[in-house]
């Protein structure tokens, strides 16, 4: 009998060690090593997916770059405008895309919707999580007229999946989820580091050799990283993150890595009773329709991916009932909020250290664009002073540590979006004026260089 080979794997980062370790030398996590039985596939059973072409083993030779023929990528449009944009303009043949997200966020719904709606393509949806009946029920909720070439397979063994793939020859493959698959070449349990790595490698080989686009759904760990080894993200071509607050209807599909397009691209969906709907005009839905002006609410012009969006920022400043004031932010980095509060305290003399401060970005959206700073500062002061800011004013500037108002990128796009939505004034940094034609805009540009100027312009 062949000797069973095993190794210890860090379940957090995938580091491999011959013996058990308390602390992972790679990611410094404690107690994450688990023994997994691995068996290196011998030459005899390595034929997982055909690695030979025309019966002979293919040997790659070095070629001169200038002699390599460039091919115009034929992108396949999925029929979902948001997904196409996030992918950088459609699906690339042979690409492997990993979609991560919290449980219940809508990963399976998004992929099933793609399978049901893409026209005239044979799609195979492999599920290791749900039964055929469950998928059928979900499909009936999503669409009444599914496309005729959508196939469902409930299977978790990669060898069996490959057998079906050879027969069916699908044009798109969807796997829900990579953590439920197992390969017979590896003995450890599904979802373990070595299984996930092996199954991904097998699917990757299939994708590259048949030029079939493959989608993999991946679970995430409790701190938001895609479960399984970090190398999973290195192996695939594109990593998308599906996120949002489960209590809100909006979902954001973000590209974290993309070999075929810009990363940090973003798609917005709304989850309805009959599946996910694309949101093509995010600003209009993210701004709440309010009649009266309330203190603590301002609007920031942000850019997520390539798209300008106007987003409502809300702040609540109140006297702290306890010795330690509470600080909490939803959709915004708490450290950055603390920095902005310190700037206000030090540069403008606002006594915020004894106050509770709560921040919220409306719609359950997470914003990382620093151009939202000025809007947040204005919301905090508006709430602190209990004076409302007109809903016809918006903001787009970064705030520096010494209270200076800094320029932000793509200011023209932000101004145009604000103008389009009927705003009357936009606060921008004086340093942003260079190179833009001020007369082109109908909206009034208010330029500020220091934080004090913002307050005198707003509250007099
Ligand atoms: P699901 O796609 O199963 O999430 P994941 O695969 O990421 O775990 O999404 C399930 C959630 O979406 C569930 O809480 C119900 C909700 N949902 C709707 O609101 N409308 C729908 O049409 C569907 C199919 C699901
Ligand atoms: Mg699911």
Tell me: the pLDDT tens digits for 143-200? 888 888 899 999 999 999 999 999 999 999 999 989 999 998 888 888 888 888 899 9
pLDDT band at 50 (very low <50, low <70, confident <90, very high): low
Contact 425, 415 (CB under 8 A): no
Helix axes of 334-348 and 373-385: crossing angle, nearest 10 degrees:
60
277 lines ligand 1 (CB under 6 A): no
Structure tokens at 245: 């607050």
Q: Give yes or no for residue 53 having a pLDDT over 70.
A: no
The reported pLDDT for the residue numbered 58 is 63
Cβ of 141 less than 6 Å from ligand 1: yes
The pLDDT value recorded for residue 40 is 55
Out of 6-20, 128-142, 326-340, 436-450, pick the least confident.
Answer: 6-20
Q: 204 C-alpha vs ligand 1 centroid, how far in Å?
A: 27
pLDDT, tens only, 206-255: 999 999 999 999 988 666 566 666 678 889 999 998 888 778 888 889 88
What per-residue string of b and e applies to 19-55 under the rule 16 or more CB within 10 Å gives b? eeeeebeeeeeeebbeebebbebeeeeeebbeeeeee
Query: How far, in Å, from the CA of 99 to the mean position of ligand 2?
Result: 11
Which ligand 1 atom sits nearest the alpha carbon of residue 142?
22
Q: Which ligand is nearest to the CA of 244?
A: 1
The pLDDT > 90 percentage for the chain reads: 46
Q: How far apart are CA 118 and CA 99, in angstroms?
A: 18
Q: Which of 287, 325, 293 is nearest to 309 (CA)?
A: 287
Ligand 1 center to 106 CA (angstroms): 5
Higher-confidence residue: 77 or 54?
A: 77
From first CA to last CA, the distance across the chain in angstroms is 86
Name which of 44-48, 94-98, 255-259, 419-423 the model is least confident about.
44-48
CA of 138 to the centre of ligand 1 (A): 9
Closest atom of ligand 1 to CA, residue 105 = 7
**Angle (deg, nearest 10), helices 451-459 and 334-348:** 80
Q: 231 C-alpha vs ligand 2 centroid, how far in Å? A: 22
Taking only the tens place, the pLDDT of each residue in 78-137 is: 888 899 989 988 899 999 999 998 888 999 999 999 999 888 889 999 999 999 999 999
Q: Which atom of ligand 1 is nearest to the CA of 217?
A: 6
Residues in Cβ contact with 437 at an 8 Å cutoff, skipping those fewer than 6 apart: none
Centre of ligand 2 to C-alpha 246, Å, is 14
| Cβ of residue 138 lying under 6 Å from some atom of ligand 1 | yes
Tell me, using a 6 A CB cutoff, whether residue 218 lines ligand 1: no
Asked whether 105 lines ligand 1 (CB < 6 A), one says yes
Please indicate whether residue 109, judged by its CB atom, sits closer than 6 Å to ligand 1. Answer: yes
Tokens of 305: 């991916």
Look at the block and give the residue holding tokens 């099933």: 112
Assign residue 76 a region (left: φ > 0; alpha: ψ between -120 and 50; beta: otherwise): beta
**86 ligand 1 Cβ < 6 A:** no
What is the DSSP pairing of strand 393-396 with strand 307-319?
unpaired
- Taking the centre of ligand 2 as the mean of its atom positions, its distance from the CA of residue 218, in whole angstroms, is 9
Instruction: Using the structure block, give the residue that is written with the tokens 């609007």.
Output: 299
pLDDT, position 96:
95
Atom of ligand 1 nearest to the CA of 246: 14
Residues with CB in 5 Å of ion ligand 2: 108
Chain segment 175-190, per-residue pLDDT in tens = 998 999 999 888 888 8
> Averaged over 353-370, what is the pLDDT?
88
**Distance of CA 135 from the midpoint of ligand 1 (Å):** 11
Q: Which CATH number, 3.20.20.70, 3.40.50.300, 2.130.10.10, 3.90.550.10, labels domain 76-280?
A: 3.40.50.300
What does CATH list as the number for 285-459? 3.30.230.10
Question: What per-residue confidence (pLDDT) applies to 57?
Answer: 59
Q: How many CA atoms lie within 13 A of 410 on its CB side?
A: 17
CA contacts within 13 A on the Cβ side of 285: 16
pLDDT band at 1 (very low <50, low <70, confident <90, very high): low
Neighbours of 131 (CB within 10 A): 11
**Nearest CA residue ID for atom 12, ligand 1:** 106
Tokens 């700073």 correspond to what residue?
373
Ligand 1 centre to CA of 130 (Å) is 12
Phi, psi of 9 (to 5 degrees): -120, 135
Residue 201 scores a pLDDT above 60 = yes
Report the pLDDT value the prediction gives residue 245, as an integer from 0 to 100: 78
Domain residues of the chain, as ranges? 5-38, 76-280, 285-459
HEC-encoded secondary structure of the chain: CCCCEEEEEECCCCCEECCCCCECCCCCCECCEEEEEECCCCCCCCCCCCCEECCEECCCCCCCHHHCCCCCCCCECCCCHHHHHHCCCCECCCCEEEEEECCCCCHHHHHHHHHHHCCCCCEEEEECCCCHHHHHHHHHHHCCCCCCCEEEEECCEHHHHHHHHHHHCCCEEEEECHHHCECCCCCCCCCCHHHHHHHHHHHHHHHHHHCCCEEEEECECCCCCECCCCHHHHHCCEEEEEECCCCCCEEEEEEEEECCCCCCCEEEEEEECCEEEECCCHHHHHCCCCCCCCECEEEEEEEECCEEEEEEEEEEEEECCCCCCCEEEECCCHHHHHHHHHHHHHHHCCCCCCEEEEEEEHHHCCCCCHHHHHHHHHHHHHHHHCCECCCCEEEECEECCCCEEECCCCHHHHHHHHHHCCCCEEEEEHHHCCCCCHHHCCCEEEEECEHHHHHHHHHC
Dist CA 85 CA 89 (whole Å): 5
Instruction: Pick the closest to residue 254 from 150, 380, 401, 100 (CA basis).
Output: 100
Q: Is the CB of 22 under 6 A from ligand 1?
A: no
Mutational pocket test of ligand 1: of 106, 224, 253, 269, the residue with most ligand atoms within 8 Å of the beta carbon:
106
């Amino acid at each position: 009998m062949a000797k069973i080979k095993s190794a210890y794997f860090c379940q957090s980062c995938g580091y491999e060690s011959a013996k058990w370790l308390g602390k992972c030398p790679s990611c410094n996590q404690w107690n994450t090593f688990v023994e997994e039985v691995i068996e290196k596939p011998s030459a005899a059973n390595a034929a997982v997916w055909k690695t030979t072409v025309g019966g002979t083993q293919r040997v790659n030779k070095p070629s001169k770059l200038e002699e390599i023929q460039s091919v115009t990528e034929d992108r396949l449009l999925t029929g979902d405008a948001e997904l196409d944009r996030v992918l950088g303009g459609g699906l690339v043949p042979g690409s492997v895309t990993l979609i991560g997200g919290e449980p219940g966020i809508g990963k399976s719904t998004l992929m099933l919707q793609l399978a049901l709606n893409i026209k005239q393509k044979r799609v195979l949806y492999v599920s290791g999580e749900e039964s055929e009946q469950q998928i059928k029920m979900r499909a009936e909720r999503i669409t009444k007229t599914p496309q005729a070439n959508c196939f469902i397979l409930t299977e978790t063994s990669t060898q069996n999946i490959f057998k079906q793939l050879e027969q069916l020859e699908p044009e798109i493959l969807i796997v829900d989820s990579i953590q439920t698959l197992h390969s017979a070449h590896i003995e450890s349990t599904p979802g373990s580091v070595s299984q996930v790595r092996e199954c991904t490698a097998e699917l990757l080989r299939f994708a590259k050799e048949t030029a079939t686009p493959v989608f993999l759904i991946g679970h995430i760990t409790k701190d938001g990283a895609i479960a399984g080894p970090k190398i999973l993200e290195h192996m695939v071509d594109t990593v998308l993150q599906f996120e949002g607050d489960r209590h809100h209807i909006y979902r954001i599909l973000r590209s974290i890595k993309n070999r075929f397009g810009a990363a940090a691209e973003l798609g917005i969906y709304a989850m309805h009773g009959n599946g996910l709907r694309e949101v093509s005009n995010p600003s209009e839905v993210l701004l709440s329709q309010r009649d009266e002006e309330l203190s603590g609410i301002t609007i920031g012009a942000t850019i997520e991916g390539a798209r300008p969006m106007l987003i409502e920022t809300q702040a609540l400043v109140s006297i702290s009932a306890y010795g330690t004031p509470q600080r909490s932010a939803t959709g915004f980095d708490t450290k950055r909020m603390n920095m902005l509060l310190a700037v206000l305290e030090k540069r403008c003399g606002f006594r915020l250290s004894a106050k509770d401060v709560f921040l919220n970005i409306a719609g359950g959206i997470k914003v990382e664009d620093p151009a939202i700073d000025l809007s947040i500062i204005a919301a905090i002061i508006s709430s602190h002073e209990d004076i409302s800011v007109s809903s016809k004013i918006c903001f787009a500037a970064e705030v520096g540590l010494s209270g200076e108002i800094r320029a932000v990128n793509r200011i023209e796009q932000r101004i145009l979006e604000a103008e389009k939505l009927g705003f009357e004034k936009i606060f921008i940094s004086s340093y942003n004026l260079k190179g833009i034609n001020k007369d082109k805009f109908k909206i009034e540009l208010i330029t500020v260089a220091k934080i004090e100027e913002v307050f005198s312009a707003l509250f007099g």
